[in-house]
């Protein structure tokens, strides 16, 4: 029914979610060659290592079957749109042209459907509004909005900006599926085997936890769920946090709460000192597998060959990914839209 190509596909979170709803994703494009193994092994789709700025309409069109609806999906790298870069709205940024390349490919291939996902602050930048105006100029119907992923069953307090566009008629995102009943950290990862810091589960090479120094081990043992470093004995508090400027960073060196969704997963979510990434009960940071599950990747999802796994490489893929559950929400919205169009 729907044929898709996923631009900026990364390790395949968006592709996996859309495939779960019945969308056929034929290929993903990304410049990060390290993502190829995860994308291909889990999704059965082609991975093309190529800068999207160099992709042509002809090669994209070759993936689509004539009798199917065509979907072009993508999540351009979000770093230029984050709060760290506000005030730098210049088209000379080396990553911002990627959204213009996405717009060009839409104009040249004229897919029936388009979706893009990014950080909420993308809407503060001119390049995003140029992107939306390009869709309007091509007579697309557009839905756009900020999505609280926890309302759709993601066990993580993550907010993203989602855009859906259609040539077929008005379109929208499905209603929240878990409003008022979020999936908690305990429900998501509570049944995984316990680990100590620095250990790896022999049956799952991704269920591995980073080592902790003696000082950080003492710190996490002094941490409580949902607490901060302010709960520690004075001798454990870092020098930078004793200063007035450090008091505005209460969430670093924090434990998650087992009865609530987790924090937003980042590329450094495996490190105790990088945010509220401490395991709720065990004296360690969350494992790579736990981080992947909190991003709604299925427990069997592989990211790298076992002998090549590193925290940095896999953490980057997990933190940069579109959550699989959000991909499902987008996919279900598109499938319902197409079905309603066919029935009309």
Pair 165, 141: CB distance under 8 Å? yes
Q: What is the DSSP letter of 66?
A: T
- Evaluate the CA torsion angle 5, 8, 11, 15 in order and state its sign: negative
Helix (H, G, I), strand (E, B) or coil at 331: helix
Q: Which of 158, 149, 87 shows the shortest CA–CA distance to 124?
A: 87
The alpha carbon of 193 is separated from its chain's Cα centroid by a whole number of angstroms, namely 25
CA angle, 130 then 167 then 118, to 5° = 45
Asked about 78 being catalytic, the answer comes back as yes
Q: Which of 78, 200, 240, 269 does the annotation list as catalytic?
A: 78
The alpha carbon of 25 is separated from its chain's Cα centroid by a whole number of angstroms, namely 18
DSSP character string of 72-126? EEE----GGGSGGGTT---TTSSSTHHHHHHHHHHHHH--SEEEEEE-GGGGGSH
Q: Which of 3, 115, 4, 95 shows the shortest CA–CA distance to 52?
A: 95
Helix (H, G, I), strand (E, B) or coil at 221: helix
- Evaluate the CA torsion angle 45, 43, 342, 71 in order and state its sign: negative
Q: Which are the catalytic amino acids?
A: 78
């Amino acid at each position: 029914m729907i044929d898709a190509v996923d631009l900026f596909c990364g390790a395949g979170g968006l592709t996996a979610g859309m495939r779960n709803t019945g969308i056929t994703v034929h290929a993903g494009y990304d410049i990060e060659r390290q993502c190829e193994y995860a994308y291909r092994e889990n999704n059965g789709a082609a991975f093309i290592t190529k800068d999207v700025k160099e992709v042509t309409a002809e090669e994209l069109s070759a993936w689509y079957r004539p009798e199917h609806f065509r979907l072009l999906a993508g999540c351009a790298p979000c770093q230029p749109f984050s709060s760290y870069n506000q005030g730098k709205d210049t088209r000379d940024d080396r990553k911002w042209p990627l959204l213009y390349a996405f717009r060009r490919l839409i104009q040249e291939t004229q897919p029936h459907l388009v979706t893009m996902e990014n950080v909420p602050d993308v809407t503060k930048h001119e390049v995003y509004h140029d992107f939306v105006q390009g869709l309007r100029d091509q007579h697309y119907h557009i839905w756009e909005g900020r999505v609280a992923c926890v309302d759709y069953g993601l066990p993580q307090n993550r907010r993203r900006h989602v855009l859906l566009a259609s040539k077929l008629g008005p379109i929208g995102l499905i209603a929240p599926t878990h409003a008022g009943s979020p999936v908690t950290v305990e429900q998501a990862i509570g049944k995984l085997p316990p680990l100590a810091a620095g250990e790896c589960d022999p049956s799952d090479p991704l269920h591995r936890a980073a080592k902790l120094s003696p000082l950080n081990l003492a710190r996490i043992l002094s941490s409580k769920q949902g607490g901060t470093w302010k709960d520690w004995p004075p001798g454990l508090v870092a020098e930078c946090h004793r200063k007035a400027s450090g008091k505005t960073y209460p969430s670093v060196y924090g434990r998650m709460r087992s009865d609530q969704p987790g924090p937003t997963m980042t590329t450094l979510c495996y490190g105790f000192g990088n945010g509220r990434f401490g395991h709720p009960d065990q004296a360690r940071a969350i494992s790579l597998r736990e981080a992947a599950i909190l991003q709604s990747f299925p427990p069997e999802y592989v990211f790298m060959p076992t002998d090549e796994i590193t925290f940095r490489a896999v953490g980057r893929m997990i933190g940069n990914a579109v959550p699989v559950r959000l991909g499902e929400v987008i996919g279900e919205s598109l499938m319902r839209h197409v079905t309603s169009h066919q029935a009309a």
